[in-house]
Every structure is written in structure tokens, then in C-alpha cells.
Structure 1
Amino acid sequence: MKRKPKINHIIPLLVLTFLLSYFRTLAQDRPNIIVILADDLGYADLGCYGSEIPTPNLDNLAKRGIRFTNFYNTARCCPSRATLLTGVYAHQAGIGHMMDDKGPEHPGYRGQLNDHTITIAELLKNAGYFTAMTGKWHVGQPHGVVPWKRGFDRSLNAPAGGFYYGNGKNAKLFLNGRALDNNAKELPKNWYSTDLWTDYGLRFIDEAISEKKPFLLYLAHNAPHFPLQAPAAEIEKFKGKYMKGWDALRRERYEKQKKLGLIDPSWKLPPFNPNVPKWETLSKKEKEKYDHIMAIYAAVITHLDKSIGDLVSGLEKRGVLDNTLILFISDNGGNAEPGYEAKYEGPDPGSSQSTVFLGQGWAEAACTPFWSYKHHTHEGGISSPAIISWPNGIPTSRNGAFERQSAHIVDILATLAEIGRADYPNSWKGKAILPPEGISLKPVLAGQRLKRSQPIFWEHEGNKAVLNGRWKLVAEWPETWQLYDLQADRTELHNLILEEPEVAGRLKQQYESWFKRVGAEAWDKGVKWFYDYEKAKSETIK
């Protein structure tokens, strides 16, 4: 005779069944999340931000989603990555500069993520997400801070960037914590990093799907950081198209930005950097060299866009595109290093053994319509193209919309925590952790106002800024403060420091309080090779 199960045995089983069903439903309801970070991509380098470079896949994401006009980074690669991953300012995370460690007496400059932060991967993994990353890590691997110890279930990463091909001198890969030979059987033959990151990202997504979990993929590209390298056939398509020169290209992009509605037509284009020679003064040989450099850069960006298309197509084939939030941004403005002369080294510039830098002339066009570049806190150095797409989460009425409220890379963690329904803890692994500094950007998906109560701050290599509403106080090392009304003058041509002393004083006080609170330190090694703003602005705009 069968024995009837006791009621006290049935109840726990029913509870367990209910909980499993609940969490399975919760996992299906929450979106998948992909954060794509480009490296050294300027504000005007995508078609949907004014470029002539074909970027149809990113343009399509913008048409099906939202394009930010005022999205900001930290002005440099390591600090932007630290801020994105932790949701606090880079100094608080331990990477106030780059990966050099200044020692325990300088906690904001240890060159590695500290243990008083929680990463987006740790946060979302704790909430039931499958977490993966591919690409450039650059937040402390030499010091032992690695993705597989900071919340990522799967990773194919490079400790830093500086390569595109497997035979590049800086190419170094780790697969789930295991160092790989660049010709390892796990890797495609003759791989190109832009494609490799996407390929492995989709492989990791397949694992998440098989485990029936929502996924986070952090896809951190090398492109279009130097040394600029791309397949020869792709470079060839652009050769000769830039013989008109950098000043003409910059003006064309500016006119397209106005036509797109990206920028206010009343914002004047700043004068071209006087340290860069006029294009017409260059020799034919020099023009051909710079044309080739820009052709390589354009090829790198179009290949980046192709990889975005491969990713979106892969999501569509797997049936997960509609419930996947994709955020695309850049870590800083266009790169003007080492000056207008750029770099053009190697027997075959653009190949895996060459070293090509964009240079200052083309960086002027990359950062259109703004002043300055990577490293710096005028708008050209800190403004990113930013696109967010999520078919199931963005009303169709918002498709193709411009979002003109200011947002910052520090806001990403808070945004993903809300969207992924992840609770932010007070402590992690036995350590008290810092509260997030950013705010959730989720309201913009529905066209609502953001609830930002604090200003946004910057400090990098002595270059500094604070943004509060329409007002921005900014100074490049070793300049004195300048004040701009970004609503009326986002290209920063009219310094109002004398006309608005009370506004300037309030912002300066807020900045000084923040500077101390986050552990920033005075900087005395800055370089002023870029140019003198006040001198340049006194020149006639032609």
C-alpha cells in the first residue's frame, strides 16, 4: 500500500516550485543588456552624428532608438572604464589617472579598481544575470584586478589595447582567466580584434540562452584607437576622399550636424586650431600622407560598424533582439596625439606592423563642432556619441528621437541596476562600498525628465570642469576658470566669467568640495601642446 505524502513535505515542494517559476519568469521579463564602448571615437565620427564615414548599422540603431546630444565621458580611457564599471567617479574607484600606481598614500591613483566599489557585472550577476565581457579591460590587470574576479562569468579580454591583429606587438589575450597564445586553436585564423570581440560575445550569449538567464555583455572595443590598422581593401575604398583637407571636412560635418538637428544652428563653429597648418600650405606628398591616415581611420570605423551589424544580426537570429538593451558610447573625444604631424610609421601604413595615429588636424574634424580633444575638459574632449536601443523598452514614438538632457558615463551603473532590478548593496565581500554617484537614465526612454540633483564633475591631468544645468565652469591646465552657458553657446566661444561672478563662484565652490571628497589631487605635469583657447578664439572665424 502506497503511503500518502505528508502535508509538511508537500508545502516546501510547492514553495520551491513557485520560487523557481517566479525567478524564471523574472529572468524572462528583464532585458538582456549590451554595453558597447568604442575607444577614441570622436563626437562627429558616426554618420548619425555628422560624419561622411558610412556607419549604417549604428545609424539604424539610432533610428530605432534614442540619440543623446549631451552624453559625457571622463576625457580618457582608463578613468572612463573605471567610472562605467563602478558607477562612481574614477578617483573614487582608484583610477584618477591611468594604470600607474602612486602608492597607498594616494588612494585615488592606484591604477586599479579598488575593493570599495562593486562592478556592473557583480551587481547584475548577484541579481541573476549571466555576465560576460570581451575586449579591452584596462582597469588594473597588471595589479591583479581582472574581469573574472570582478563579476564576469565569461571573458575574452586584453589587459590593455594597442593592437588589432594577432601578430601585433601588444596583442595579448586571456580567455576566462587563461592566457592564450595568439594562434591558439580557440581563436579564428588571422583574427582581427574588432570581429573577435563580437564573435566571442555571441558565443557567451549562447551560453546565457542555454542557461535561460538574462545576460549582460560588456563589449569594449580597441577601435578606433591607435595604432590604426584595417584590411587593405577597406582602406583603399577611402583613399583620395580626404584630399580636400581637415578644415573643409570639419565644416562639412558641422553643416550636416545642423541639418540633422543634432546641434543648435546658432552655435558657431570655433576657429580652427592655429597650431595646425592650413591644408593649402601642405605639399602634395604631405596631403597624400594625411589623406591615407584619414582613410585608415575611416576603414577602422566602418569595420567597427560592420561588427555592430554582425552583433545585431546575431541577436535577431537568436530571437533575443527585441528584449535586448544596447548602449553604444565612446570613452573620450577624438585623439590629437602627438600633434598635427600625427604618426605614419612602418613599410605599409595600416597593416599589422605599422603605427598610425590620427593626429591633431583630423581630430579637429572628429570632435566637430567642439573645442579640444581627448585628455581635455572642453566639450571636444568629453563629449561622446551615445545611442540606446531597446525595442521592447522604448516606445515607438521615441524612435529616432534626440535626447538633449545631459548624461554621463557615471550614470550607466545606476541605469542598469534599475532596468535589471538589481539592489545596490551597502557592502560587498565584507567591505563597505561607496554609494553610486550617477542617476538612472531610464526616464529618458519614455521622454521624461531626469532627476539629477548634483552637478557633473571632471578632473584629468589638471584639466577640470563642473556642469550644473546650463552652466559649465571649465579650465584646462594651467588656465584660469572660464564660464559658459551651454544652452546658448555649447561650442564655448563666449566666456561669461566676468558677467556672471555669482554663478562662477557657486560652481567653483561645488567643484572644490567634490575635488576633496573624491580624493583628486593637484596636477603639475600637464602639457599645453594643444593650443591657447583665448588666443584662438580671438582669430577671425572664416
Structure 2
Amino acid sequence: MNKYKLTNEGKKVKQADRAGCQPVSSTIAVVCRLVACSMLLLLCRTAVADDRPNVVLIMADDMGYSDIGCYGGEIETPNIDALANRGLRFTQFYNTARCCPTRAAFLTGLHQHMTGIGAMTETPKGPRDDKRPAYQGFLNRNCVTMAEVLGANGYHTYMAGKWHLGYHGKEKWPRQRGFDRFYGSIAGATSYFKPQRGRGVTLDNENLDPPTDPDYYTTDAFTDYALRFIEEQKDDKPFFLYLAYTAPHWPLHAREEDIAKYVGKYRDIGWDKLRQQRLAKQKELGIVDESTQLSMRDEGARPWSDLTDKQKQQLDYRMAVYAAMVDRMDQNIGRVVALLEERGELDNTLLMFLSDNGGCAEPYKDLGGGKFEDINNPNQSGAISYGQGWANASNTPFRKFKVFSHEGGISTPLVVHWPAGLKTKAGTITSHPSQLIDLMPTVLDVTGTQYPASFADHEIHPIEGNSLQPLLRGKEQPKSEWMFWEHSGHSAVRNGKYKALKPRKEDWQLYDLSTDRGETNNLASEMPDRVKSMAARWASWATSHQVK
């Protein structure tokens, strides 16, 4: 509601009070005053409700820490960069290392095991054959989604993009987990040009036929529907939009005009020089300290100089397509910002951008996955990818990538933009360690929404994260004393500046993240007592969270 209109309404109430509450009798006068006060109180409450911010959460899929410009990348991302330059950037924000567990933690404020997605979610081929509640493969009813709690507090709730939190049975789909409207892929990854069959697209609760428009592209379509949902809203209530792009997750599918901007750009640089180039820019931007050193090139990638000319040419093209996918996503984020600005709602919209995990090396080949001729084939999907060497570069300056609990797997860029509510200086960069489970309490905090003890007759696990609102307000905020990770047998625990890391089938390692986020200097043999105590603390957390 317009504030000026509200003020006028308030004046009319007061005038009515003066005109209509003459002392015909003291009783009538009292009643008139009570009615007038009640009306004023109702109007004030409405004003507060109307002042609540919109919330727009945008998630990239399999995008590395250093891919976007404001985190050191050479890919053209002017819209995300502009949000960062006007907002707040996090340099130590953590995800869960993989797509669906991240989405589970992101939407619920709980570690993924407590939601039922301790590993992976269901696929179109069938439900997961795992009877353990923490690994059932779809969101359980002992968690509540951000959409469910915001919807109960008067927010409109919209989603476009990748769901990946339950497939078999519509009770597991977005509309049944709090979203008023949905357009996207229930299954997750799909063809960008022609999503079809079990990996097709869905509108609300109806699966759609494969698109016939030769100009169709999922990144554009997801944005089209997100904007449509906002524009079709009939009232002035605040809204929550979750825009979950599949870009730049494989398969390598991009528009030719976007690819043309990058072909040849990586041919003479290669992944070794690209990592050096990105690190230099990160230092210039203040994303990392001047003393930061590159981790060693991943052992799965050869030196660029060892490759043949044909291999370099094809890898240049693979990286060009990947860059084009990120570029196109940024263009679409620009469309979202433009609409909010046009509607006069950008200032009071809490907008966050992040990635679900580090850059993806699947299927762990330095020459990339899939046949070269399958790139940009609408009828081909699967792991048609850019390769282990480029994934290593995407996560500059860290080790490893998606799935692993190394910094390269769990570190994500996080950009926060909110002119009306963010009290930090424009362009501020914070090194405050934070994680996915902090986003739910933050959103509830700024929207005045209460986290429930139960929902739809189900008891709900207590929320686990910490609200970042003090940080957004420019105030000091205590750091989380402990952080825990586990995915696919890769485990980690952080306590202050120390991180204990246990890759699958290996011993515990120890790193001082204040000087070594590249995890190059293992301190385990020098500090065995610390390793033992941190491993014990992780084991206790794992037991309480049903980690296998």
C-alpha cells in the first residue's frame, strides 16, 4: 500500500473521530474512540506488512568460485557485478558440495541429512532404494521450506528452474511444498534446447510436451516465467521468488551468439595461465589476501602445454560454451533486476545470488565428458562437460571441485543486494564464515516471519542456522563456532580458523584456513590432539544428524 495514501486514510479516520464522536453520551464517545483507534491500529499493521521486502534468491548450478567477474573471472557478468558493487560480497560462504543436498539445506535451514536428502534425490528412473530416513531422496515432512513459512505469513511464493528435491509423486513437487507457482525441471539437469521425457519441464503440476520453438532455451524460459509470475500478481503483497538456473551445469548447451564471444579466448591461455590470471584479479579485488598461493594443478589434469593442438582447440570450444552459459545467465539476471527497477521494487527487494557447489569435473577427464559433436545437440544430454582442468580453474585458487569437501567443492560466491535494508558500504567484501543453513533464518528475520515448531500437523526439526541480519545491518556478528560437512563419504569440520578434512577412504587432515585456504599444508602430524578433538566433534554431529 502506498504510504501517502495510508497517511491520508489515517487523517480521514481522525477527522471522522472528531466529527462523529461528539458527546451525545459518554458511552457513544468511548465507543467511537475505540473504533477509531482500532482502525488506526489496523492501518499501522497493514503499513508494516506492506513494508516487508520482497525476497529473490537466485542460484547457479555447478558454477565455480571464480567464474563471475566480481570474484575474479573473465566471463562477462556485468549484471551480477553491478549487484556486488552496490551490495555485499561474502568470501567464506559455504554450500554442501552438491546440487540436491545444497537445495535441501538452502530451502529449510537444516543440514541436508535432516531433510531426507543426505546423498542424492530421486531420478526419473525410480525412487532411491534406501530405507534410511536421512537418505530417502526427497524432502521429508519434518522440515519446512522457505516457501511454506513465507506463504503462511502472507507472501506470494514463486519458483522457476531446477527443483531436484523429489520426483516420484506430486506430493514431493514444488506446489505441494509451498510454492504458489512453478515452472521448471522437477528432475534437475536437462537439455537446454529441448527438455523432454523424464527430464522435461513442468508448469505448476502439469508436465509439458517438449518445446517446439527453435528459439527455446531453458535459462531464458525460466526467467520468462519468473517475470510472468511477478507481473500477474494482482495485489501489492510482498513475494518470494526462488530462481534456480541449471546453468552452467552440463550438458554444454549455449546460444551461438554467446559462444562467439568466447571462442579462441582460452586457446592460448589454457587452464594453467587462466588460474594465475584469475588469482591476480582476485587479489586486486580483495577477494583473497595478497599472500594467497594457488593450490597445485589437480592431478587429473595435464599441463596445458602437454596437449595437442586439436585437444587445445576442442577444449577452448568447451570452455567457450561453458562461459557462454554463465554469460546468458547473467543477461537474464539483468532482466530480473530491470523488472524490479521498472516496478519500483528493487530497493526493497532482498536479492541474493550464489552457486550450489564448486565447478564440476564430472566425469573426471581433463578432455571433458561426452562426444565433442554432442555439444549443443538438443537431443543429447548427460555429462557433456568442459573437463577436469577447466573445473580446477573455475574454483581458483582452491583444490578440488563439486562433491568434495575441500574448499573447491564447498565454497561459493554469495552476493547480497538490498538498498533499503543493507547498511554496509556499497561494494563491501566480508570474510565472515557463513553457510547455507544461515539463509533461512536470515530471510525469516528480515521478513518478520516466525519459524514454526510444527507445520501441517507435522513436528519440525529446530532450525540450525544463524541469521545474518546483524551483518547485513553493518553490525558485528559472532562467528559460528563449528561448521560440519559430509557428502558421499567426504567429511569436514571447521572450528575457528582450523578445518579438519577427511576425503573418502583417507585419514583426517588439518589446515589453517587463515593462511591456507588452498589446503596445501597439512598440519595433522604437527597438531594431532586438535585433529583428534575435531574428528570427535564431527563424529558427534554425524550421529545426531543420522549421517551414515
Superposed CA offset, 1:225-270 (max 9, x none):
0002111121122111111211111111111111111101212111
Q: Residues 223-262 of structure 1 correspond to what in structure 2 (within 5 A)?
A: 223-243=247-267, 244-262=269-287
Q: Could you tell me how far 1:24 is from its partner in structure 2? A: 2.6
1:206 aligns with 2:231: yes
Matches within 5 A, 1:99-110: 99-100=121-122, 105-110=131-136
Q: TM-score, normalised by structure 1?
A: 0.90
1:376 and 1:351 map into 2 onto residues whose CA distance is: 30
The answer for unaligned runs of 5 or more in structure 2 is 1-23
CA spacing shift, 1:363–1:462, aligned 2, 3 Å? same
Within a 5 Å distance, the mapping from 1:429-468 to structure 2 comes to 429-468=456-495
1:174 matched to 2:202? The reply is yes
2:13 corresponds to which residue? none
| Contact preservation (8 Å) 1:45, 1:53 | yes
- 8 Å CA contact 1:258, 1:264 repeated in 2: yes
The one-letter code sitting in structure 1 at the alignment partner of 2:444 is A
Matched residues, number: 513
In structure 2, C-alpha distance between the alignment counterparts of 1:15 and 1:152, rounded to whole Å: 36
> Does the 8 A contact of 1:39 with 1:222 survive in 2?
yes
> How big is the shift at 1:166?
4.8
Q: What's 2:81 paired with? A: 59
Note if contact 1:456-1:468 (Cα within 8 Å) is conserved in structure 2.
Answer: yes
The amino acid of 1:399's aligned partner reads A
Q: Is the 8 A contact 1:142 1:159 kept in 2?
A: no
**Maintained 8 Å contact 2:300/2:389:** no
TM norm structure 2? 0.89
Residue number in structure 2 paired with 1:493: 520
Q: Is the 8 A contact 1:439 1:452 kept in 2?
A: no
Q: Residue 192 of structure 2 contacts residue 219 of structure 2 at CA under 8 Å; is this kept in 1?
A: no
Structure 1 residues 172 and 15: alpha-carbon distance in aligned structure 2, compared to 1, 3 A threshold: farther
**2:385 equivalent in structure 1:** 357
1:343 aligned partner, one-letter code: G
**Superposed displacement of residue 172, structure 1:** 1.6
What's the Cα RMSD here? Answer: 2.2
Identity among equivalent pairs (%): 43
Using the TM superposition, give the Cα deviation of residue 19 of structure 1 relative to its aligned residue in structure 2, in angstroms. Answer: 6.0
- In structure 1, give the amino acid aligned to 2:499: K
Give me the whole-angstrom Cα distance separating, in 2, the residues matched to 1:279 and 1:161.
32
Distance 1:437 1:233 in 2: 44
- State the Cα distance separating 1:158 from its structure 2 match: 1.1
CA shift for structure 1 position 349:
2.2
- C-alpha displacement of 1:367: 0.5
Indicate if the aligned counterparts of 2:162 and 2:189 stay in contact, CA closer than 8 A. Answer: no
SS at match of 1:70: strand
Quickly say closer, same or farther: Cα 1:13–1:130, change in 2 above 3 A.
Answer: farther
Question: How much has 1:271 moved relative to structure 2?
Answer: 1.3
Q: In structure 2, do the counterparts of structure 1 residues 12 and 152 end up closer, same or farther at CA, with 3 Å as the change threshold?
A: farther
Aligned to 1:342: 368
Q: Is 1:130 matched with 2:156?
A: yes
Q: Which amino acid is 2:415 matched to?
A: I
CA contact (8 A) 2:314 2:372 kept: no
- Determine the C-alpha separation between the residues in 2 that align with 1:338 and 1:403: 34
SS in 2 for 1:63: helix
Matched to 2:148, the amino acid is: E
CA distance in 1, matches of 2:172, 2:353: 25
Counterpart of 1:357 in 2: which secondary structure?
A: coil
Q: Give, as a single letter, the amino acid of the residue that structure 2 aligns with 1:371.
A: R
Could you tell me how far 1:179 is from its partner in structure 2?
2.2
- Could you tell me whether the CA contact under 8 Å between 1:165 and 1:190 is conserved in 2? no
Q: Is residue 294 from structure 1 mapped to residue 319 from structure 2 by the alignment?
A: yes
Q: Which structure would you say has the larger Rg?
A: 2
Number of the residue aligned with 1:39: 61
Q: In structure 2, how many angstroms separate the alpha carbons of the residues matched to 1:10 and 1:104?
A: 65
- Matched letter for residue 206 of structure 2: R
Counterpart mapping for 1:156-195 below 5 A: 156-169=183-196, 171-183=199-211, 190-195=215-220
Secondary structure of the structure 2 residue equivalent to 1:219: strand
Residue 354 of structure 1 deviates from its aligned partner by 4.4
Structure-2 residue corresponding to 1:310? 335
Match of 1:469 in 2: 496
Contact 1:103 1:109 in 2 (8 A): no
1:39 & 1:346 partners in 2: Cα distance?
Answer: 22
Dislocated runs of 4+, deviation >3 Å: 6-20, 100-105, 168-171, 451-454
Deviation at 1:211, TM superposition (A): 1.4
Aligned partners of 2:214 and 2:119: how far apart in 1? 36
CA distance in 2, matches of 1:261, 1:343: 34
